[in-house]
Amino acid sequence: MKKSVVALSFLAVLSQSHAVVANDDISISGFGSLVGGTVLDGDGYWARLPEAAGQYDTGVDFQTESRLGVQARYKATKELSITGQMMVRGINDFEPELEWFYATYSITPDLSANIGRMRLPVYHYSDYMDVGIAYPWLRVPSDAYSLAVTNYHGVSLQYNYDWDIGTTAFKIYAGQQDTDPNKLITTIEQYKTEQLYDQNGQFIGVRDVRTTKDYEDMKGVVVDTTIDWFNLRLSYLEGKENFTFYAEGDYPSTPLFGGVWADTQFIDISASIDYENLFFIAEWNDYDTIYKSWFTSVAYRMGKWTPYVFYSAFEGTLTFLGDPNKLDDEYSSVGLGLRYNISPRTALKIEVTDFSDKGDAPVFIDENRDGDTDATAFAVSLDFSF
């Protein structure tokens, strides 16, 4: 309720800001994606996106991935600015939420400091993974974008260095983030171990378990270098995390397990080429003792059309659910899609994704209770910015 009040207040400020915009004190921008999808083969398909978005089972769904974002930036002085970003997501029943709220102080033209609630900059597309118009695919290849936290509260310092043949952006940051519930992990656990069936063996839903995940002492660094058409990005994050699992009806007093702080680290490396009409990227990450994931993609621009293909993979490290020689979570996706630029700020995309589940644990709806949740899905999106 408090989040909704804050977000609605933010919208009210935006609605009254037209006079301020005329004085160049406030700039307003936004973006959105209207996404619809369906399952062509299999019991269901879940892209495992943040907030547990990207779930498709029967019929055509236009809610789970659709989203709208509005960002306002107030320039208090030449050096100081304040930024807020509000999001509404279909997976959250389009409830408004203030996702970012931070202040930026420009120490020099190349050195700036931020403080507040910001996007956690662990991935190549972290800052704009919600902005569908900014990349060729219908969604970021989600097998490789599975970290259970996307924002953090803290501080960051960024320095941009121009060294003649290229540029490098150095960022260091620190902070913390609590997620209660952690919607992504909760949904993963529900389909992994808590699926329910009737007396005829038909899937009827999942148990109402709950997970929380808290992060503290987060410290990270990003080095992002661009030389003409080539980009190399390195990201490292370390800190402490506390995962807690509550069985149905036990929250908040009696966790089934967890509640212990543990050291953790996350490493991400990406390399990309954007040369004339060709775009190529490969990204790999390692989440300490939890998982490894990666993706690679090629896209080719032909006027307003951009066909693309990608391959992504996820490999967990746990083996306690079934065969000790087989991982609980191991899956991959092959995607083939097409983007059409309606205008510079609007694009239509279609994508077919073939999902292969190689692990012991089900990833989504498992009608046959065999742990096999292979699926083929089709989706279409209208992405825009303003």
Per-residue pLDDT of 134-146, as tens digits, reads 999 999 999 999 8
- Asked if residues 41 and 376 have their Cβ atoms less than 8 Å apart, the reply is yes
The CB-based long-range contact list for 313-319 (8 Å cut-off, 24+ gap) reads: 313/143, 313/144, 314/143, 314/144, 314/146, 315/291, 316/290, 316/291, 316/359, 317/289, 317/290, 317/291, 317/292, 319/360
Q: Give the pLDDT mean for 246-250.
A: 89
- Asked if residues 115 and 102 have their Cβ atoms less than 8 Å apart, the reply is yes
pTM for the model stands at: 0.91
Q: How many CB atoms lie within 10 A of CB 179?
A: 18
For the chain, the distance separating the N- and C-terminal CA atoms, rounded to the nearest angstrom, is 28
Name the one residue in this structure whose structure tokens are 């970012």: 100
Please tell me the distance from the alpha carbon of residue 236 to that of residue 141, in angstroms, as a whole number: 20
Please tell me the distance from the alpha carbon of residue 235 to that of residue 287, in angstroms, as a whole number: 12
Quote the pLDDT of residue 201. 87
Under the banding of pLDDT at 50, 70 and 90, the label for residue 380 is: very high
Quote the pLDDT of residue 320. 63
- Residue 2 clears pLDDT 50, i.e. is over it: no
- Residue 9 clears pLDDT 70, i.e. is over it: no
Under the banding of pLDDT at 50, 70 and 90, the label for residue 328 is: confident
- Residue 19 clears pLDDT 50, i.e. is over it: no
Assign residue 7 a region (left: φ > 0; alpha: ψ between -120 and 50; beta: otherwise).
alpha
Quote the pLDDT of residue 230. 98
372 DSSP 8-state letter: -
Q: Give the pLDDT mean for 313-341.
A: 86
Tokens of 236: 């490292």
Per-residue pLDDT of 152-177, as tens digits, reads 999 999 999 999 999 999 999 999 99
Please list the residues that pair with 69 across neighbouring strands.
31, 87
Q: Give the pLDDT mean for 326-339.
A: 93
Tokens of 166: 């290229």
Q: Give the pLDDT mean for 58-87.
A: 97
- Asked if residues 244 and 261 have their Cβ atoms less than 8 Å apart, the reply is no
What would you measure as the largest C-alpha separation in the chain, in angstroms?
Answer: 70
H/E element, 14: helix 2-15
Domains, the chain, in order of start with CATH, read: 2-385 (2.40.160.10)
Please tell me the distance from the alpha carbon of residue 101 to that of residue 92, in angstroms, as a whole number: 20
Quote the pLDDT of residue 322. 63
Please tell me the distance from the alpha carbon of residue 295 to that of residue 90, in angstroms, as a whole number: 26
| Cα 54 to Cα 2, 45, 150, 357, distances in angstroms | 26, 8, 16, 16
Quote the pLDDT of residue 6. 46
- Neighbouring C-alpha atoms within 13 Å toward the C-beta of 288: 11
Quote the pLDDT of residue 253. 83
For the chain, the average pLDDT equals 92
- Residue 12 clears pLDDT 90, i.e. is over it: no
Please list the residues that pair with 350 across neighbouring strands.
338, 380
Q: Which of helix, strand or coil describes residue 110?
A: coil
